[in-house]
Amino acid sequence: MKLSIYQIDAFAGNVFEGNPAAICPLDKWLPDEMLQSIAQENNLSETAYFINEGDGYQVRWFTPTVEVDLCGHATLACAYVIFEILGLENEVIRFYSKSGELRVTRKGELIELDFPKATISKCEIPPEITHAFGKEPTEVWVSEDYIAVYDNEEDIVSLSPDFNILRKLKCRGVIATSRGKKTDFVSRFFAPRCGINEDPVTGSAHCELMPYWAGVLGKNKLSAAQLSKRGGKLQCELSGERVFIAGRAVKYLEGIIEI
């Protein structure tokens, strides 16, 4: 069996930036064990698979260890493959996923994701977060992930987490965030329970971050940066129950998987 594979750097203006995702177009679904094994072999934060359904595309996302319900950077990477490599002329793509219908729109050099807004609630500060980060956040909110809010960008850059402690938390991951110097807010994302100690750029985390920062900053259009080693930039907008997340993408490689 031979499968096409593309590695796309998402939320990046150049290769070696942003978050790399492996993208595999399929004619039909392979067994889940095979999809997971390919993702493990790729050893990237996400491997995404899609199937053309006529009016849209079924999409699924896998980390090296588990399937996830929503992934922003790999969806952006799928859209890049469909627009730029497979040559779709339409400006809008419909993806059908475990998180419902997701629309992606090409807007010049940007690709914009239309994702559901997450519901967040303030909670007590879990002692594991303070111990893992070595610094207590000013406040913590919770959704699918914990959102640990810090005073400034230097706090976020300096974090060196103990992943063994974070792995004990019963959530997908932990987002550390603060106001930014050159952007409205910054963040880092840690998900050792999902096999990803630190994700380079996490589109889905901004579905949780936007309700928080839009409320704090009093505006719905915000610029964001994820401060991983690779780094990534996002343009975000909160509109009702939806979060629009836009960024660029570039192709790093194209190849064939032989199984």
Span 232-247, pLDDT tens digits: 999 999 999 999 999 9
Quick one: which H or E segment has residue 122?
A: strand 121-123
- Going by C-alpha positions, the residue among 12, 45, 53, 36 that lies closest to residue 226 is 12
Cα–Cα separations (whole angstroms), residue 20 to 72, 115, 203, 241: 12, 20, 12, 28
Three state DSSP letters for 24-56: EEECCCCCHHHHHHHHHHHCCCEEEEEEECCCC
Evaluate whether 2-116+245-258 and 121-239 have a shared fold. yes
Positions of the chain with pLDDT under 50: none
Q: Which CATH superfamily is domain 2-116+245-258 in?
A: Diaminopimelate Epimerase; Chain A, domain 1 (3.10.310.10)
Both tokens of 232, joined, read 């990534």
- Going by C-alpha positions, the residue among 11, 141, 7, 22 that lies closest to residue 72 is 11
pLDDT for 61 equals 97
Both tokens of 61, joined, read 């996302």
Half-sphere exposure for 115 (CA within 13 Å, toward CB): 30
pLDDT for 118 equals 96
Cα–Cα separations (whole angstroms), residue 234 to 117, 130, 186, 202, 257: 16, 28, 10, 10, 31
- Going by C-alpha positions, the residue among 149, 143, 144, 147 that lies closest to residue 120 is 143
- 3-class DSSP assignment, residue 150: coil
pLDDT for 54 equals 86
CB atoms within 10 A of CB 219: 12
**Residue indicated by tokens 């309700």:** 211
Measured distance CA(230)–CA(211) in Å, rounded: 25
pLDDT for 6 equals 98
pLDDT for 195 equals 87
Measured distance CA(161)–CA(152) in Å, rounded: 17
User: Phi then psi for 111, rounded to 5 degrees?
Assistant: -120, 125
Cα–Cα separations (whole angstroms), residue 49 to 90, 93, 96: 20, 15, 12
**Residue indicated by tokens 């909110």:** 141
CATH (residue range 121-239): 3.10.310.10
Both tokens of 148, joined, read 């640990």
Residue-range domain boundaries for the chain: 2-116+245-258, 121-239
Query: What is this structure's pTM?
Result: 0.89
**Residue indicated by tokens 């069996």:** 1
Which positions are catalytic?
Answer: 46
Both tokens of 1, joined, read 């069996």
Q: C-alpha 183: how far from its chain's center?
A: 18
